[in-house]
Amino acid sequence: MTLRTTLLAATLLPLSLMTVSMAAFAQSPQQDEADSVNFVVPPWPGVTVKTEVFSQLIAPLGYDSETQEVSSTVGYQTLQTGDSDVFLAGWIPAQQESHDQAMASGKILDLGNNVTGAQMGFAVPGYVYDAGIHSAEDLDAHRDRFGGRFYSIESGSTVSTFIHDAQDNDTYGLGDWQILDSSTPGMLSEVKAAFNDERWIVWYGWTPHWMAPAYDMRILDDPQSVYGPDNGRSDVRTIVNKAFAEANPNLLALLEQFTLTADEQSEFIDGYGRQELPAEQVARTWLQDHPERVATFLDGITTRAGKPALEAVKASLD
């Protein structure tokens, strides 16, 4: 067949067949440019395991994972430069200043909250709450029971500034209390000792974290908003490099659908942070035990080759 007859034959194809062929082409999935995702992972149990969960979801889809263990402040910078792609722990309001500065650059996207029910504030064990301490306004009236001490985390951290400002302003009568700043493990060792003896203690607590189930933790009402509005309600945002998001629509859709409850994240934080199990084991066990959540994450998602993602992930977890 000559070139002329070939071209002529093509022009004689039924219009309906040509329409179907063009429609099929238009509907074919757009392949992501990336075959690897570089995550910002500060040394916190929650984001460590959550990132591992996401990494195990995308591995059967054809994506590799890399992690950068840097602070959130540095992480926002690397997201802007494109040296990292995804950060699953943009805590707001605790990181508000860094977050807002990065957003102003136009180089990152905030995909919204990936943890529902996150909260931070004045925390007490369940037995103290059951004794009638329901608000930070109740603390000073029971100063002696608490030893006049409030336990917080690292001096210079945003939340440490919150409580020291409250002390300077004598908020809730805390002006003459002793604010004890420590590392998070140091603070929680004090909480554990008090909990085991059923002594009264108040500390800076947050959820999701293993301290919530371990100590039957209750976060008190905070009407003066020391730890932010709505009784310390927090968002844990998914932050991505904008260029990465635009080049990878399949991954972007998965990131938008990857959301957890505070109780779910506290569950696997407990396995990793308190039971000291490997993050890889905790993540795999959680995915195997929650097939309905996996299906929700992967709804409409494909492998890099355009095949259904759920089938690939199920096979990897068998």
pLDDT tens figures, 92-147: 988 999 999 999 999 999 999 999 999 999 999 999 999 999 999 999 999 999 99
Strand partners, 65: 37
Contact assessment for residue 89 and residue 44, using Cβ atoms and an 8 Å cutoff = yes
DSSP 272: I
User: Within a 10 A sphere around the Cβ of 194, how many other Cβ atoms?
Assistant: 21
d(CA 246, CA 127): 50
E strand map for 59-181 = 64-68, 86-92, 108-113, 115-116, 119-124, 149-152, 178-181
- Mean pLDDT for the stretch of residues 66-71: 94
Residue 246 scores a pLDDT above 70:
yes
Segment 223-246 shows an average pLDDT of 96
* 222 vs 35: CA distance, rounded Å: 45
Rg (CA), the chain: 25
Q: Give residue 8's pLDDT.
A: 40
CB 76 within 8 A of CB 240: no
- Alpha carbon 69 to chain centroid, angstroms: 15
CB 72 within 8 A of CB 315: no
Q: Give the pLDDT score at 30.
A: 65
- Angstrom distance (rounded) from CA 202 to CA 179: 11
